């Protein structure tokens, strides 16, 4: 059934009225109609009044020339007065329209200036104008994002300062002890100093890597890659750290796992970040496992641990740069909250995905998904 014509017209009117340019067009039409109407009415009233007075005071001796002159004078005066009245009416209508449109825009401009001065808590009042209210909502969302970014920047400065100060203080203390002869110059002392220096080096490398990824982008050399070889290399690099903390490290890789389209070095960096994160939050005696599988034409690599886990409210932000679930615990573990961000950016650069499943006290499972090479491609390549 066709809708009622009046209802269809009402819906069309509401749809058009939501557009700012249609409202401006309608306002101009209203102003034009008001101007012409006021001018016409005023001209008629003034002209009729003037001619009536002339006829009233010249009854019996009206001549054609005098009447024409009076009519011309009446028309001129009425036209002038009508023009003045129409200008006032159109100016009032234009001022009303301008205030409804320009007023909110001026508030946005003023608020943007205050935000540019560093007052990120400023917000724009949302008007009842459709498009201007949308603009105000978007502007407020941008301001909120800037405020969060500024807060993260401040937290980053504090976190980096803490991360730098702790190992530097340790190194300085040991060096002073060595100079004064309080600390023995043995292998254990030099190993502790080397460990703290390595902690500083990791922090600087992570900051440099994140800065380069955000400013320059990711340069990849993607080719068919054997995931099992990447996992083997990662296990070899990380096993001494896991053994030192008494955390079991294992891998489950099926024999029929297809090749993945990946940059071997970059995916290795992703897995190293995930394993380092798992090691930090898995207590002594725990276990971490790397699992690989094939699903829906993709290769999935999961890093699962039985550590402390992550609360549900933190999961949506876990890959946000500089976000740390527990600042005190992260500091104790030596994390700066950027390793997972690097892993996400590198994975997305492969057109893959990274996700997390976790619960407090039940460990965490980070899953990286990469495009798999079709079986026909590498079988054909191997038979050539």
Which has more pLDDT, 45 or 164?
Answer: 164
Q: What is the pLDDT of residues 46-100, one digit of tens each?
A: 666 665 665 566 555 555 555 556 565 666 666 676 677 667 766 776 677 667 6
Cα 316 to Cα 322: distance, rounded to the nearest angstrom: 14
pLDDT bucket at 207, cuts 50 / 70 / 90: confident
Q: Are 101 and 27 in contact (CB under 8 A)?
A: no
Q: Is the pLDDT of residue 277 over 90?
A: no
109 versus 88: which is more confidently predicted?
A: 109
pLDDT score at 87: 72
Beta bridge partners of 365: 304, 357
Phi, psi of 275, rounded to the nearest 5 degrees: -70, -40
Average pLDDT over residues 291-306: 91
pLDDT band at residue 332 using 50, 70 and 90 as cut-offs: very low
The 3-state DSSP class for residue 355 equals: strand
Taking residues 293-317, report their average pLDDT: 88
| Rounded percentage of the chain residues whose pLDDT exceeds 70 | 66
Is the pTM higher than 0.85? The answer reads: no
| Averaged pLDDT, 354-374 | 90
Distance, CA of 23 to CA of 305 (rounded, Å): 60
**pLDDT per residue as tens digits for the range 110-167:** 888 888 888 888 888 776 656 677 778 888 888 888 888 888 778 777 767 776 777 7
Q: What was the pLDDT predicted at 381?
A: 42
In terms of average pLDDT, the best of 26-30, 89-93, 329-333, 366-370 is: 366-370
Average pLDDT over residues 284-309: 91
Q: Which of 240, 158, 160 has the alpha carbon at shortest distance from 195?
A: 240
Distance of alpha carbon 136 from alpha carbon 124, whole angstroms: 6
Q: What average pLDDT does the segment 279-298 reach?
A: 90
Q: Which of 91-100, 192-201, 232-241 has the highest mean pLDDT?
A: 232-241
User: What are phi and psi for residue 301, nearest 5 degrees?
Assistant: -120, 120
Q: How many residues does the chain have?
A: 384
Q: Which one has a higher pLDDT value, 377 or 122?
A: 122
> What is the predicted pLDDT for the residue at 339?
80
pLDDT given at position 241: 87
DSSP state of 119: -
Top mean-pLDDT range of 119-128, 167-176, 282-291: 282-291
pLDDT score recorded for residue 214: 65
Where is mean pLDDT largest: 81-85, 175-179, 290-294? 290-294
| Predicted local confidence at residue 382, as pLDDT | 44
pLDDT higher for 2 or 233?
233
């Amino acid at each position: 059934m066709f809708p009622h014509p009046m209802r269809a017209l009402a819906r069309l009117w509401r749809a058009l009225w939501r557009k700012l340019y249609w409202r401006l067009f309608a306002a101009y039409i209203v102003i034009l109609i008001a101007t012409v109407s006021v001018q016409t009415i005023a001209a008629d009233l003034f002209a009729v009044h003037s001619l009536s007075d002339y006829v009233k005071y010249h009854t019996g001796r009206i001549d054609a020339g005098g009447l024409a002159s009076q009519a011309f004078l009446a028309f001129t005066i009425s036209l002038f007065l009508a023009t003045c009245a129409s200008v006032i009416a159109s100016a009032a209508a234009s001022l009303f329209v301008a205030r409804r449109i320009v007023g909110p825009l001026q508030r946005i401009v003023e608020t943007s200036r205050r935000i540019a001065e560093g007052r990120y808590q400023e917000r724009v009042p949302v008007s009842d104008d459709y498009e201007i209210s949308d603009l105000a909502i978007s502007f407020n969302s941008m301001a909120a994002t800037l405020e969060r970014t500024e807060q993260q920047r401040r937290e980053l400065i504090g976190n980096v300062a803490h991360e730098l100060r702790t190992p530097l203080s340790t190194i300085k203390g040991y060096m002073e002890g060595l100079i004064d002869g309080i600390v023995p110059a043995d292998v254990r002392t030099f190993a502790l100093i080397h460990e703290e220096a390595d902690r500083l080096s990791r922090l600087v490398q992570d900051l440099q890597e994140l800065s380069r990824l955000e400013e320059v982008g990711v340069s990849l050399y993607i080719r068919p890659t054997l995931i099992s070889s990447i996992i083997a290399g990662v296990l070899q690099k990380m096993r001494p750290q896991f053994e030192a903390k008494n955390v079991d490290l294992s891998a489950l890789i099926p024999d029929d796992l297809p090749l993945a389209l990946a940059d071997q070095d970059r995916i290795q960096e992703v897995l190293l970040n995930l394993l380092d994160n798992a090691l930090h939050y898995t207590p002594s005696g725990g276990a971490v496992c790397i699992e690989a599988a094939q699903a829906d034409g993709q290769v999935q690599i999961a890093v699962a641990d039985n550590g402390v886990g992550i609360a549900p409210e933190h999961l949506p932000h876990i890959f946000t740069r500089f976000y740390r679930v527990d600042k005190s615990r992260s500091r104790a573990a030596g994390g700066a909250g950027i390793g997972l961000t690097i892993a996400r950016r590198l994975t997305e650069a492969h057109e893959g995905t990274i996700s997390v499943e976790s619960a407090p006290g039940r460990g965490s499972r980070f899953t990286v998904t990469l495009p798999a090479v079709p079986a026909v491609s590498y079988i054909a390549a191997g038979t050539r």
